[in-house]
Structures are given as C-alpha cells and as structure tokens.
Amino acid sequence: MAAPTVHPAGTVLEGRYRVDGLLARGGMSVVHRGSDLRLDRPVAIKILDRTLAADPAFVRRFEREARAAARLAHPGVVAVHDQGRDPDGTVFLVLELVEGGTLRDVLRDEGRLHPATALTVAEQVVTALQVAHDRGLVHRDVKPENVLVGLDGTVKVADFGLVAAAWETDGADDPEGNGEMVLGTVAYLAPEQVAEGRADARSDLYAAGVVLFELLTGAPPHGGEDAVTVARRHVHSDVPPPSALVGGIPRALDRLVLAATSRDPEARLADAGAFLAAARGVRIDADLPFHPVPPPRRRAGSAGSRPLRGTRLLDLDEGPGDPPRRGPWDDLDEDLEEEADLDDLAEDEPEDEPEDDGPARTGRRGRRSPDAPVDDVDVAIETIERRRARARSRRLLAAWLVLVSAATVAAGAAGWGLGLP
C-alpha cells in the first residue's frame, strides 16, 4: 500500500475542520493537527488512505468502528469527536488532540524506563484496554506508536477500531484467505493473530506484555531480518524474562511479562482485570511505587512513525519485506545456537545440567523444548544465563587457542630465520 496522501495545510473538510500541520504518518492514515472551526477548538484529524476510502466495504466497517470507539468515554482513551466524508472522497476521523508525543518518542528519549515507570505505563494502557474490552472492542494493534503521552505525563491509547475495520474487510472480501490480512505491527503480534488470523482481548494483553518488555529492556523481544521471521518467532519462541537481558528488574515483573505473553492464549492472563490484579501484586512484592511517566522531549510527528506492517495469513514462507530492527534477544539466540553446535562436537563432555528437569525438558541431553511453557521463572532465567556464559567461555577458549597457536608459529618462524636450533 502506498503512503497515504498528506493534505496541504489550510484544507477545510466538510466546511468545518481545517487541516494544519502533519503530526504522524502510518500505513493506513496520516494525522494532522487541525481546528474545529465551529467550536473553535484544536483537534487531531486522522485522514484515511485514499485507496481504503474508495473501498465501500472498508468505509462501512470503519464508520461502524468509529461509532463504537466514540462510546469509549475514558481519560485513558483518545476521544473520538466526529467522523466524516468530504465531497472530494476524503474519509476522516476527528480526535482529541493530545499535546505531547507517543510512547515511542519517550523510548527514543529514555532508551528504557525504570521498572516502576514501566509498570505505571502498562497499568494505564491495560486500564484503557479493559474499558474497550468490556464494550466488546478489541484493539488488535497495541504498540508504542498507538500510546500517546501528554506533556503532563498522562497516558492515552489511540486508534481503536481502525485495524479491526481493515481486518474484517480483508476477511470479507477474500474468503479464500489469499489477500493480505492487516494483522498489526509484527513486533507486537500475538501468535494466534499470525497463525490463525484471529484476535480477542487476550491478543491485546499479549501485545501489552510485549510493550512492557520493551519498556524494561529498550527493544521488543523478537527481531529478525524481515517481517516473516519476526512473525514466526512469535509463533514458535517464548518471550524471555526481561531480567535475563537487563539487570535490576524484579523477578515479579518477569512473571507478569511471561504471564501476559504466553504463546497459548488459554495459559495467558485471562483478561485485563487479571493483568491489573497481577500488576498490583507486583507493586507490593517488588516495592515499586507509582511513578510518573516522563513527557516526551520531542513533539509528536517530529520523527516519522513506522507504517503498519502486515503479513499474509498462514503464509510464512513469502519473500521478505522491509527489515524490522533486530531484537536484543537475537544475539542470545545466536549464542544458544552456537552452543548447540559446540555440544554436537563434544559428545563426551560431562553435562552440568540435570538429566530430567520435569516435563518441560526433552531431548538427548534434557534440553528444554522450544515449545514448552516456562513453568518456573527463576529456573528459566538461571538456565539462560548459564548457557550464555558457557557459549561465551567456549568462544574465549577458542580465541585463546588460536592466539597461542599463532604465537607458537611466529616464534618458530623467527627462530628459523635467525638460524637457531
């Protein structure tokens, strides 16, 4: 899909809404600062891509979703003021204008957040999701770009309904499943969204858990060279505990992240209320007080947002798309893969891990199956750290042997050159 058209400043839609400067650009829409000329108030105007606006099925679903989103009257949800269609065919939403930026801007400023601040953000996001879920509305694209942070540190979730309209339109127009399904941004996709093309409230909680992981560590858990690789990792790889990557993160926060991001929806936190109850328990267990969210230092729209990415439903062998950034866990994945290769070359090496660690461990030497759930967070963290240390030790040993060999050869060559016996 081509980038949505940016409307020139000064354009007036439906004789009421004046379009001003650009705030953000996405895969399906652009957002402008604007003015409601009738009520004399600043607003944000989300203008849909003309290709989508020309699809009657999409517009019908979009208008229905906009009406549903407009009923979400909550301080943690960006308010929908109006929805319209200009005579020139422009389809748009009029939204509450949040002065500040996005959670992505905050991450660019801070790198990662203190655990207490990250938990505060997650609680506010999930509280907004709970309001939507109680009204039967699933977001489907929870990510830092869709979380707005005001200059006073308030947190609001935006974009309810837009992805749902695109998803349902694709499914209705292409019952064979051959068209491109708009699934959300791949870094935050729940496994069932990738593998089965379905989403419910638990899918939003998975994405919220991934966002919490990113707030704690500075990057999403799964990266890759292309969108399909990232989508596969959501389906086949567990989200790891954040504390295995960044020190100082309480184990109680690890447990919350893992409970929210279980690959099996049935094993995930059941609903937003369960997430919030677990978060309250983390505050008590880890002594994490409510901590204000730092406002973004850069204005919304100062950096182009990444467009919405999609992947073809159940077709994870298609060609690569634009490469997402690598996740921080990719380096550890490579460490563990290298360790596995070294293990194959050292069949007689004594194993320092127990032969049977319970039903979650399988294979020749009691290795943990990649499809097995994490039953004990502490054991999982210790196992990962131990394997990472072993892999690094082996690389250092190999490098030392190479250096010793090189030094021996050099000394021999020097002695030969000097005629020494």
CA distance 46 to 23: 10
Nearest one of 238, 230, 231 to 261, comparing CA atoms: 238
- How open is the CA angle 146-94-79, to the nearest 5 degrees? 55
Rg (CA), the chain: 25
- The H-assigned helical ranges of 185-287 are 191-195, 201-217, 227-236, 251-260, 272-286
Which value, to the nearest 10 degrees, does the dihedral of the CA atoms of residues 149, 151, 153, 157 take? -20
Query: Quick one: tokens of 262?
Result: 């279980």
Q: Mutual orientation of helices 251-260 and 272-286 as an angle, nearest 10°?
A: 170
Give, rounded to a whole angstrom, the gap between the first and last alpha carbons of the chain: 75
SS3 at position 83: strand
CB-count exposure of residue 249 (10 Å: 0-12, 13-18, 19+): buried
CA distance 157 to 160: 8
Report the Cα 59 to chain-centroid distance in Å.
27
CA distance 354 to 348: 16
The amino acid at residue 295 is P
Q: Are 207 and 222 in contact (CB under 8 A)?
A: no
SS3 at position 28: coil
CB-count exposure of residue 405 (10 Å: 0-12, 13-18, 19+): exposed
| Residue 141 among the catalytic residues | yes
Phi, psi of 297 (to 5 degrees): -85, -20
Phi, psi of 368 (to 5 degrees): -75, 130
Query: Quick one: tokens of 394?
Result: 């082996």
Q: Which of 141, 170, 204, 335 is catalytic?
A: 141
SS3 content of the chain, % helix, strand, coil (to 5): 45, 10, 45
CB atoms within 10 A of CB 256: 25
**Which positions are catalytic?**
141
